[in-house]
């Protein structure tokens, strides 16, 4: 056993070495990205290339996650705090999560390359933005749902004490949403590996936008049927996932446990050896005492003074005329841009013939059935499993890294194996596409249910024990009401993920062959390969319209039910 001071110095040395290594890695990455454009990168299947590929992919996912978190906090806050903005932002979020990545992949890549034609930065930014589109939506939905379900007594206390917007955000809203944000962040990073394979291996006609990375390595290995290379790539990915779990997610989960809304402390709390080690660090204590805490107090005092002045009576002043005219001009420009986009889209849609319209309609119906079947099958096992993991910190220590690994392994890397087994057993592509949708979307439900089960207050659990609730009564009166807001968020994001996964699930390239089944995802993929942009646009619009209609008619009603009936308040 080392003395406390020796542990502190050892921790400081390890942290300093890790920070230095990350800094040097980012510096090297920046030099590569700012270097000249390198088209048609050659992807080696050698295992010795995996460390560099893994580092590049991890950097892309990390940057995309940071952008996703900032976007989710701003978007969820705006949607939850302004009823007028909510009427626009929530349906827009439904549309954004329902549009498949493959539909706007060509446009984003070409736009980024056009902005930086001579730099590698353009194609790297395009890849990061596309990974961002696979990570941001579930975090935004989680934060929005948490803000809408804040207990009334906490909201009243913030009003009584005249919290500024900054104080309210840092002292109430962000802490209350912390558990949901953490678990949805884990899901977003895990989902980033799924989209990485498409973003790092993009070819548009004669133009090759391949990027060296773990996703392109797995895609090349899967396309060539190289089982050994697939296993090496999966081993590297699992190693990264385990390291992230130990060094990042377990400490964050243990730290976020203190934000649980309860009056009685849990007997068994989440723990992390890394977090305990960091808490013993003298350098971290000094940094917090000398830099972080004074800066936080200064910000709080500054915003508190401005909030106090806001409550003083001031004479009403008419808004400046230039602001009114500026707002009208911006609105007119927006309407003009929207009208132009609709006009250009109409020119493409008039090219559709009767056979293509019939194919899109039939494919939409079949994909709709597969998506709902995948949601039902995923909920049947994810809800009880998530409640079991979220209710037991001891079980969570073992189940959490396993769930992280299972959720992070791209379903497209496992799809060749699943496809061969199902075809051999006579299942065909119809059943195989359903299996791939399930592999890619069930984790949204699981991670949100785990977050909901962890957020159930300990005092309510103890009350259920005192009143000797049976298993059915416990589920009906405690567990299902407690996890209901999180379950709705998980089902909404899983539905959007299932529609996106249909593009890969219904149209798959394997060993030089194209295996497909009837569906809207197959229509989009086939149109992309053939360059039929009018069919691609029409199928994407139909997919977005279906998702928005379902969310407005079904999921939004469940959100209102969660806000009104299943809110934790007295």
**Average pLDDT for residues 352-368, to the nearest whole number?**
85
Mapping DSSP onto H, E and C, the string for 510-542 reads ECCEEEECCCHHHHHHHHHHHCCHHHHHHHHHH
User: What does the pLDDT read at residue 71?
Assistant: 92
Query: Comparing 504 with 7, which gets the higher pLDDT?
Result: 504
| Pairing, β 513-516 against β 507-510 | antiparallel
**Average pLDDT for residues 86-106, to the nearest whole number?**
71
Q: How far apart are CA 398 and CA 389, in angstroms?
A: 9
**Average pLDDT for residues 252-258, to the nearest whole number?**
81
User: Facing residues of 509 across strands?
Assistant: 514
Q: How far apart are CA 458 and CA 443, in angstroms?
A: 25
Residue 326 has pLDDT above 80, yes or no: no
User: What does the pLDDT read at residue 311?
Assistant: 46
Helix (H) or strand (E) holding 203: strand 203-204
User: What does the pLDDT read at residue 70?
Assistant: 92
**Average pLDDT for residues 116-138, to the nearest whole number?**
79
Q: Are the beta carbons of 298 and 25 closer than 8 angstroms?
A: no
Position of tokens 């001031």?
314
What are the structural domains of the chain? 34-271+351-564 (1.10.3720.10)
**Burial readout 184-221 (b: 16 or more C-beta within 10 A, e: otherwise):** bbbbbbbbbbbbbbbbbbbeeeeeebbbbbbbbbbbbb
Which tens digit of pLDDT belongs to each residue from 71-93? 999 998 988 888 888 878 887 78
Instruction: Provide the pLDDT confidence category of residue 312 given band limits of 50, 70 and 90.
Output: very low
pTM of the model: 0.75
Q: How far apart are CA 509 and CA 526, in angstroms?
A: 11
User: What does the pLDDT read at residue 105?
Assistant: 64
């Amino acid at each position: 056993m080392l003395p406390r001071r020796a542990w502190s110095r050892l921790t400081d040395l390890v942290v300093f070495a890790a920070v230095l290594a990350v800094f040097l890695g980012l510096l090297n990455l920046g030099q590569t990205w700012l270097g000249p454009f390198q088209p048609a990168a050659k992807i080696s299947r050698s295992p010795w290339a995996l460390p560099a590929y893994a580092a590049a992919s991890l950097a892309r996912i990390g940057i995309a996650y940071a952008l996703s978190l900032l976007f989710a906090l701003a978007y969820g806050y705006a949607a939850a705090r302004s009823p007028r903005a909510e009427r626009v932002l929530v349906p827009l979020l439904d549309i954004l999560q329902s549009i498949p990545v493959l539909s706007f992949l060509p446009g984003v890549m070409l736009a980024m390359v056009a902005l930086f034609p001579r730099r590698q930065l353009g194609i790297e930014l395009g890849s990061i933005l596309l990974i961002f589109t696979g990570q941001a939506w579930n975090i935004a939905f989680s934060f929005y749902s948490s803000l809408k379900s804040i207990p009334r007594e906490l909201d009243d206390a913030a009003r009584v004490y005249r919290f500024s917007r900054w104080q309210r955000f840092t002292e109430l809203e962000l802490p209350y949403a912390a558990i949901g944000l953490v678990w949805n962040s884990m899901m977003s990073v895990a989902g980033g590996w799924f989209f990485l394979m498409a973003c790092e291996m993009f070819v548009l006609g004669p133009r090759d936008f391949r990027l060296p990375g773990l996703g392109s390595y797995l895609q090349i290995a899967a396309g060539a049927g190289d089982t050994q290379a697939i296993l090496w790539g999966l081993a590297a990915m699992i190693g990264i996932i385990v390291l992230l779990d130990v060094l990042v997610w377990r400490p964050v989960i243990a730290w976020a446990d203190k934000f649980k809304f309860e009056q009685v402390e849990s007997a068994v709390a989440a723990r992390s050896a890394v977090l305990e080690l960091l808490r013993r660090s003298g350098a971290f204590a000094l940094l917090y005492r000398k830099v972080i805490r004074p800066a936080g107090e200064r910000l709080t005092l500054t915003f508190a003074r401005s909030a106090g002045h806001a409550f003083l009576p001031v004479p009403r002043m008419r808004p400046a005329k230039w602001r009114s005219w500026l707002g009208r001009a911006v609105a007119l420009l927006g309407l003009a841009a929207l009208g132009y986009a609709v006009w250009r889209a109409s020119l493409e849609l008039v090219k559709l013939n009767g056979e293509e319209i019939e194919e899109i309609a039939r494919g939409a119906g079949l994909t709709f059935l597969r998506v709902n079947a995948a949601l039902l099958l995923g909920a049947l096992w994810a809800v009880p499993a998530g409640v079991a993991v979220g209710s037991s910190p001891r079980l969570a220590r073992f189940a959490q890294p396993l769930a992280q690994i299972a959720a992070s392994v791209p379903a497209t890397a496992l799809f060749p194996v699943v496809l061969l087994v199902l075809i051999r057993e006579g299942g065909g592509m119809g059943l195989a596409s359903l299996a791939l949708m399930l592999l890619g979307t069930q984790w949204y439900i699981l991670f949100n249910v785990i977050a909901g089960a962890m957020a159930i207050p300990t005092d309510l659990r103890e009350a259920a024990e005192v009143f000797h609730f049976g298993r059915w009564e416990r589920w009906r009166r405690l567990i299902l009401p407690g996890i209901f807001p999180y379950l709705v968020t998980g089902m909404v994001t899983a539905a959007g993920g299932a529609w996106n996964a249909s593009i890969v699930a219904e149209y798959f390239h394997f060993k030089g062959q194209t295996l497909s089944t009837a569906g809207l995802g197959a229509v989009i993929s086939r149109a992309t390969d053939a360059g039929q942009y009018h069919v691609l646009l029409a199928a994407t619009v139909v997919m977005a319209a279906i998702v928005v209609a379902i969310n407005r008619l079904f999921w939004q009603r469940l959100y209102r039910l969660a806000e009104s009936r299943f809110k934790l308040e007295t």
